[in-house]
Structure 1
Amino acid sequence: MTEQSERVERPEEAESADHCRALTERAVARVRLDPSRQVLDHNRLAGPWVEGPLRPRPDLTAFPSGHPLPPSLRAWLAYDSGMLERHGWFDRGGALAPRTLGEIAVVEYGELWGSCFEPFSALFGECFLLPGGSDSRRVLSVGPHGERDGLGEYPVFALDVDDLPYAVLMYPGFDVYLAETAGVLPPDGRPGYDSLKHDPRYAARMRTHARGRLKGEYDLLCL
């Protein structure tokens, strides 16, 4: 690891307007301008950012496994939980309800394609579905051991079944996912779901997750 990447991955030096809680607060500020705006312009099924009265959940601090919520997610939940609730994050009692990667894939893609992801569920631990894509999906993965980057953030993966089903590291954390989806960060523009591995702001964090989850790779092909 280079001296530069070591500096980027140290939380006391990496925190900035483009990371973690600060980036999430920028996304929240953007959503506040028009909370009824659709989360995804290309997929109306995702619904608006805020539907009805705000439902903040500042009481949530940890996942059912005991692993702490990332700072970005806590910042978003302090604003609202409705969008995540619509995507199956909570049970009827209002507690966080993680699923396995295979469970999410079967619901989203059906048994034929979705079952291809089940053998890899143990690698992804607690998973939560996020709005994103049309044929593809976005999943926040807490991991079997709560593996986080230097800022305490968990990765977001894309699932795709266009050719062969595979999972690919797309965002280094909920912070970057939320900011790009809300329009705070413009789309990267480079080809490929894992294009942020080339972004100097996020490359070190992406490498951390790739090493911790996929032995240095950025995707996992489900054969």
Structure 2
Amino acid sequence: MLQTVFFRSSFFVLLILFSCQKQEDNSLPYFNTPDFSPQFLSKEDALKKITHAIAPFSFTDQDNKIITDKTIDHKIHIASFIFTSCGSICPIMIKNLSAVNKKYEKDPNVVFLSFSVTPWIDTPKKLKDFKNLNKINNPDWHFLTGKKGEIYKLARQSYFAEEDLGFTRDSTEFLHTEHIILTDKNKKIRGIYNGTLQTDMEQLIKDIKELKAE
């Protein structure tokens, strides 16, 4: 009888340990370097080992409102890099991101940031017209403009927008990428997606849900 009780107790301990391990294995990775090598860590280990975070910034959105890194404090945010006159990947990216937006547009803890890579052309008015043209009503989806060098540096050095290929490039080289970056409430990078692929956007929707549950 004692052996049976011991066996059952041991079984349930192992089951709990397995479930915890499985839950940790299913959690989203952290990305600390521009080569996007995933690191699967507990929150406690991530605080010690993941040093990279989105740097401070300040840009102007389509409503002439100043948006800074403080805007995304303690919020999940999705970053993309577009320009209003783009006739190739940008329209596809916006269309695909709109599906993600429909899922989370009423959630104030999920913010969308679309940085213009032609800020010398994309004034707040042009960005507002672009947002209206794409029928985007979410007040937490900001289309941003500002100084080219600052946007490009943030894209490459903070968001690793072009992965390691663009990490060392300077602001004279044009930035054009289909990558969409997911960051958590601590401004840590947790996912990279191809904005031209609907399947990647479906995965993004799931990953945002997972981040919200963390």
Please indicate, yes or no, whether the TM-score normalized by the shorter chain is above 0.5: no
TM-score between both structures, scaled by the size of structure 1:
0.30
**Whose strand proportion is higher, 1 or 2?**
2
Q: Which structure exhibits the higher relative contact order, with contacts defined as CA atoms closer than 8 Å and separated by 6 or more residues? A: 2
Whichever of the two has the greater Rg, that structure is: 2
Q: TM-score, normalised by structure 2?
A: 0.31
